[in-house]
Amino acid sequence: MKTLADFDWPGKVALLRAELNVPVKDGKVADTARIDAVLPTIRDLLEHKAGIVLMSHFGRPPEGSSDPKWSLAPVRAKLAELLEREIAFSPSLDEASRPSGGELVLLENTRLNRGEKAGDPDLAARYAALGDVFVLEAFGSAHRKDASLVALAQAAGDRCAGPLLEREVAMLGKARSAPRLPQLIVAGGAKISDKLGALVNLAETAEHIAVGGGIANTFLAAQGKSIGKSLWEPEMKEKAQQLLDLHPDLFIVPGDVIVAAGPDAPAGIAKPANEVDADDMILDIGPAASKRFADEIARAGTVIWAGAMGVFESAPFAAGTEAVASAMASSEAYTVAGGGETLAAVRQFGAFGKLDYTTTGGSAFLEFMEGKELPAIAALQ
């Protein structure tokens, strides 16, 4: 894999695929961890008089949508603030043009372009025409085959790993090849199928896998429990059942939960996981489960955490995620956490800087840890 140092940058244009899929609240960036992580790369390229075409996806919009809620505009504003300079912005690919040396242009959300999710080579050729060297920094998306990740790596004149990606691969590679045992996985969040899929291989090496968030709901359903109106993924129920059958003592499924009518409810109620009513929504793990997870984190050798335990953005449903963040911060284990919302939670609960490593990847992080080759990284070689 080439790196930034392999190129003579003055006058060249970097096609910088970053991971700017950050939490946004009320039109403002709510957590800058993923932006902060790529700022040194941007500064370094600009200092070397390279032009930059900065691109990222944001959320999961329908392709072709013009709804402003999918716009990278809030990221543009935050970038301008952090870099202390105006950020040129191309609202559509049609309007984009090649920047000159020392100039940066941010492209609108790649997933608004038709063909992005399908990895369309024609779309990739249009991205490639804007610059010279594809630079991959989007570790958090490296498990995907979107056009701006894989087809672009092939369509661009040349390609390399950015310093952030290099660091992610080196640090996580270390945790993967020589884990301190026992290894504990804590998996949660809303991207159920991505993360649950990764648990299949991790189940072979982990001593325990503690599940929260939407993944826990899917496991509770797989155990035959009623989960009311909770977020879950019916298509993953069978996989969860198979995992439970194959590894009966491996999974730690919450025995109690916090329920409410919905995430905007002013308060939640703690209940045993087998007493959830038809109109309840499970929005956090319960206090007994939080204690159990924290105890396991304290006695583990390595803890890998991806995905919030509940809707931590709202105070009544934050306790489970806070318990995990605090336990990670004080554990003697080698602790790694990652994901857009997970990093926001790590910061919110004062654990930033107290973990051994934080990665920008969420689902990609879990796939990397299970030993999978990530398509976007493979495309650089």
Closer to ligand ADP at the Cβ: 51 or 339? 339
Q: How many CB atoms lie within 10 A of CB 82?
A: 16
Among ligand ADP, Mg ion, none, what binds residue 282 when CB lies within 5 to 8 Å by partner kind?
A: ligand ADP
The item of Mg ion, ligand ADP, none sharing an interface with residue 310, based on CB under 5 to 8 Å by kind, is: ligand ADP
Residue type, 308: A
Judged by beta carbon distances under 5 to 8 A according to partner kind, the member of ligand ADP, Mg ion, none in contact with residue 214 is ligand ADP
CB-nearest residue to ligand ADP: 339
Q: Which does 342 bind (CB under 5 to 8 A by kind): Mg ion, ligand ADP, none?
A: ligand ADP
Q: How far is the CB of 92 from ligand ADP (least distance, A)?
A: 27
The verdict on 316 binding ligand ADP (CB under 6 A) reads no
231: partner contacted, choices Mg ion, ligand ADP, none (Cβ within 5-8 A by kind): ligand ADP
Query: Is residue 336 a contact residue for ligand ADP (CB under 6 A)?
Result: no
Closest to ligand ADP by CB, 322 or 341? 341
Cβ distance to Mg ion smaller for residue 166 or 313? 313
Tell which positions 197-226 bind ligand ADP, by CB under 6 A: 213-214, 217
| Shortest Å, Cβ 214 to ligand ADP | 5
**C-alpha to C-alpha distance for 166 and 149, rounded to whole angstroms:** 16
Count of residues binding ligand ADP (CB under 6 A)?
21
| Residue 152 contacts ligand ADP per CB under 6 A | no
Among 4-12, 39-47, 247-255, 303-311, the segment contacting ligand ADP (CB under 6 A): 303-311
- Which of these ranges, 65-73, 155-163, 203-211, 305-313, lies near ligand ADP under the rule CB under 6 A? 305-313
Give the residue, chosen from 206, 362, 369, 377, that forms a contact with ligand ADP under the rule CB under 6 A.
362
Q: How far is CA 236 from CA 1, 50, 225, 232, 240, in A?
A: 35, 45, 15, 8, 6
What residues make contact with ligand ADP under the rule CB under 6 A? 188-191, 213-214, 217, 231, 282-283, 306-308, 310-311, 313, 339-342, 362
